Chains A and B, each alone.
Chain A
Amino acid sequence: MKKRIWALLLTALVLSAVLGGCADGSGDDGAQSTTPTRAETNEIVVGLMNDLDDSLDPHLTVKAGTREVMFNVFEGLVKPTPEGELIPALAEKYTLSDDQRTYTFTLRQGVKFHNGQEMTAEDVVWSLRRCAGEGQDAPLVEAFAAIDAVEQVDASTVTVTLKEPNGEFLAYLTTAILPADYTGQDTDPVGTGPFRFVSRSAQDAIVLEKFDDYWGTPAYLDKVTFKINENADSLMMALQSGAIDLCNHLPTANAAQIGEDFYIEEGAMSLVQALYLNNAQAPFDNVLVRQALCYATDRQEILDLAFDGYGTLVGSSMYPTLSKYFDETLTDTYSYDPEKARELLAQAGYPDGFSMTITVPSNYPQHVDTAEVLAQQYKAVGITVEILPVEWNVWVEDAYTGRNFQSTVVGVDASAMTARAMLERFVSTAGDNFINYQNSDYDTLFAQAQAASDEATQVQLYKDLQRNLAENAANVYIQAPADLVAVRKGLEGVVFYPIYVLDLSTVRYTG
């Protein structure tokens, strides 16, 4: 009998160890033996928190996480630099006509696609026309609706004519150039970037290899494996066990216990984290309620509690690294004032508050944590919050695409390095207006911004658009999170861009 008690006790202890402690134990096997091997073979493993399960065709990709990785595989006529400039890439140079409507691109010669084919003017024309919506109902890249015509002048010259002058248009020509006659982009993409796509196994890994015939500065690494770990805790375990060499978007709580083998690079994430509100659903169709939520939110406390103090507060849909457009005066549109929030709620007809749900992708612990803090803060003004953690896929399908949510904590990025990319989605008719923001002033301002001929006016209009979002409390804006990247000691060269990408061509082993 005594034996049984001990057996029971032992089982219970083992169970609690399994449930609670495995973060720590399952560690070291393999670390010592594999790490030098990877350095010798000049390859790294990158931890990835989300699978690349939408189309890998860069013109069809919708997820930021997919674009982030495929940035290494694809290039456009121009490409962004870490400083936020655009430099010629597949186009050697370009000129803009005097009426500001026609771009003439001189294509770089001898650029090879990953399948060995040489890039031709036909490929460029085909790619741009495809994005402009040739043969489809709508353009694949919304901004390409501005294109009037794409023409091939000779074997190395392509012109793009716009319907109206558009100062920002160039930023969208970072759109990938693809081989015209290739049909496998969806699953086996072919581009011109420093890395070529080798394989993807769902829920497991994506493998890229150095492209030897790259036209520009070649990548340092020979091979990069993206290892998918949708659970932040197991990602941490993989990191500590030595299975992963580099991992970005690290939750701050994890960054604090990263261990001796790694160092942290801190940059700014090019996205805006907010409590996005479904403006079409009661009670968030009422601007007073939305403003009340803004007043009820103590953003600094969110940073302190869920992000260890990292992050930059924002007040509208623009992040500080897009410094030309970022209007910092909007950051303090709403100060933390629960008293005021209650007044506004009473005015809106909710003197006793209401119940709401926050849908949150459960693979992003920072968003779940934020939702938890919000739930607590809103309690103070009588709002009861129910948190609905959902899988990332479910979030994309139901909440984002299906617009079936009441509110959600998530980060929204820009697909290109322009203010337009951040602000276009809030136009009433925009296909990706997942918060159902309907504001005629906004639509007018946005149209004006597109038509603006000189840059100063346009920048001002974009700032007005941000002010419109802030004053109408389209969402409860929180912050541009800090991007913490864990890098194994012995690796260097991580650079940050003002868009949501992870450039691996500059990463290298030291010495």
Chain B
Amino acid sequence: MKKRRKNTMLRVGLILTGLLAALILLGCFWTPYDPEAMDAAAKFLPPCLAHPMGTDSFGRDIFSRVLKGAGTTFGIALSTVAMGGALGILIGAVTGYFGGVVDDILMRLGDVITAFPSILLALVVISLMGPGKKSNVVLALGLVFIPSFARVTRTAYASLRDVNYVQSARLMGASHSRILWLHILPNTRQVLLPALTIGFNNAALAEASMSYLCIGVTPPDASLGYMLSEAQGVFQRAPWYALSTGLTLVSIIFGVGLIGQGLQREKGGEV
């Protein structure tokens, strides 16, 4: 009984995310219309067969733009997690395993970063590096996300550094890096994997918020956040615009969130 339940969660999450990822992948190569092609004759068309999500103020096909925009958001979130995750895990592992002064300094530094609201911090980074580039958005968000990953990883490593199998490895003369990455890392996955999925969701939302505030992806590039801010201005005239964009964002977050929770259940029940 218990086993089936946790599988459902993971499975639904995987199916939902897989479907969306497939659609996004499709959007990279093919969209029903050019997502940037404008058509004055097709302004604000409500959803119909030709345009399943309707059209926006420029007569652009919203479905095509959602495919492209979801791709942008998805890609940025993934890169952010990759960057923040890699650096965060590296820092967390080293500090958690060795401890000492370096640990203190790095963790306090992390505290300083976490003290600022993440969007605000990303805003500062963007304004320093110049707006309008996706790579800058990734860099800004990645930087902001490092401390949270570092902290989770550090806790896991700190609790595992003196357990028996680690001590025996050490006695057998295994190098520190072997212990760090081959012995301990695999055993932190039940903490790290959910953390990564949560991080992904936060990054997706952060990108959306930044583009919504017009400091992330700039037009004419599509991104879910920027599209939402466009949709807000015409909400009464074209409610389908906000709905289809918003629901897509929600589905991405929901799917990945389910995977995260499912993974948490997979090993060790409630964490």
**CB neighbours of B38 from chain A (8 A):** 301, 305, 373, 376
CA A9 – CA B253 in complex, angstroms?
Answer: 9
Query: Which residues of chain B in 188-219 are interfacial with respect to chain A, using CB atoms and an 8 Å cutoff?
Result: 205, 208-209, 212, 214, 218-219
Interface bracket on A: 35 or more
> What residues of B have a CB within 8 angstroms of the CB of A375 in the complex?
36, 219-220
Q: Is the interface of B mostly helix, strand, loop or mixed?
A: helix
A20 touches B261 (CB 8 A): no
Q: Which residues A16-46 have CB closer than 8 A to chain B?
A: 16-17, 19-24
Q: Which among A12, A254, A365 has the greatest number of chain B C-beta atoms within 10 A?
A: A12
**Alpha-carbon distance A1/B270, docked complex (angstroms):** 10
State whether the Cβ of A304 lies closer than 8 Å to any Cβ in chain B: yes
Asked whether A389 and B233 contact (CB < 8 A) given A15-B250, A20-B242, the answer is no
Q: Which of B22-59 contact A (CB under 8 A)?
A: 36-38, 40, 43, 57-59
By a CB distance below 8 angstroms, the chain A residues around B21 are: none
Interfacial chain B residues near A389, Cβ < 8 Å: 131-132, 214, 218-219
Complex CA gap A372/B38 in Å reads 10
Contacts of A253 in B (CB 8 A): 57, 233-234, 237
Contact across chains for B246 and A257 when beta carbons are under 8 A apart = no
Give the residues in chain B near A398, CB-CB below 8 Å. none
CB of B71 closer than 8 Å to a CB of A:
no
Given A372-B58, A376-B38, CB of A236 within 8 Å of CB of B43: no
Q: Contact check, A4 vs B261: say whether CB atoms are below 8 A apart.
A: yes
Q: How far is the CA of A305 from the CA of B220 in the complex (A)?
A: 14
A459 part of interface (Cβ distance < 8 Å): no
Q: A304-B40, A305-B58, A362-B214 are in contact. Are A16 and B250 (CB under 8 A)?
A: yes
A233 on the interface (CB 8 Å rule)?
Answer: yes
A1-B9 CB under 8 A given contacts A20-B246, A305-B40: yes
Q: Is A386 on the interface with B (CB-CB < 8 A)?
A: yes
Q: How far is the CB of A257 from chain B (nearest CB, A)?
A: 4
A23: chain B residues within 8 A (beta carbon): 232-233, 235-236
A296 to nearest B CB, angstroms?
A: 14
Is there contact, CB below 8 Å, between A373 and B242? Answer: no
Q: Do residues A376 and B228 form an inter-chain contact, with CB atoms below 8 A?
A: no
Given contacts A21-B235, A254-B233, A387-B220, contact A5 B258 (CB under 8 A): yes
Say whether B234 contacts A257, CB under 8 Å. Answer: yes
Tell me, in angstroms, the Cα distance from A212 to B82 when the chains sit together.
67
Majority SS of interface residues in chain A? Answer: helix
B contacts with A, residue count (CB < 8 A): 43
| A96 in the interface (beta carbon within 8 A) | no
Asked if residues B236 and A257 are in contact (CB atoms below 8 Å), the reply is yes
Task: Check B253–A12 contact: CB distance below 8 A.
Answer: yes
Q: Does residue A451 face the partner (Cβ distance < 8 Å to B)?
A: no
Contacts of A387 in B (CB 8 A): 132, 218-220
Hey, what's the 0/1 contact readout for A418-442 against B, CB within 8 Å counting as 1? 0000000000000000000000000
Residues on B with beta carbons closer than 8 Å to the beta carbon of A12: 250, 253-254, 257
Which residues from chain A contact B208 at a C-beta distance below 8 Å? 19
Q: Are B5 and A1 in contact (CB under 8 A)?
A: yes
Task: Verify B237–A257 contact, CB threshold 8 A.
Answer: yes
Check if B101 is an interface residue, CB within 8 A of chain A.
Answer: no
B73 at the A/B interface (Cβ < 8 Å)? no
Inside 8 A of A21's CB, which chain B residues have their CB? 232, 235, 242, 246
* Chain B residue at smallest Cβ distance from A357: B132
What residues make up the interface of A, taking CB atoms closer than 8 Å to B? Answer: 1, 4-5, 8-9, 12-13, 15-17, 19-24, 232-233, 236, 251, 253-254, 256-257, 301, 304-306, 362, 365, 368-369, 371-373, 375-376, 379, 386-389
20 extra interface residue pairs, beta carbon distance < 8 Å, beyond A16-B250, A19-B232, A23-B233: A1-B265, A8-B261, A12-B254, A13-B250, A16-B249, A19-B229, A20-B232, A20-B235, A20-B245, A21-B232, A22-B232, A23-B235, A23-B236, A24-B235, A236-B233, A257-B237, A301-B40, A305-B59, A365-B233, A369-B58
- A-B contacts, 9 of them at CB < 8 A, read A8-B254, A8-B261, A20-B243, A254-B233, A372-B220, A376-B58, A379-B36, A387-B219, A389-B219
**Minimum-distance CB pairs A-B, first 7:** A16-B246, A20-B242, A304-B40, A20-B246, A257-B236, A12-B250, A23-B235
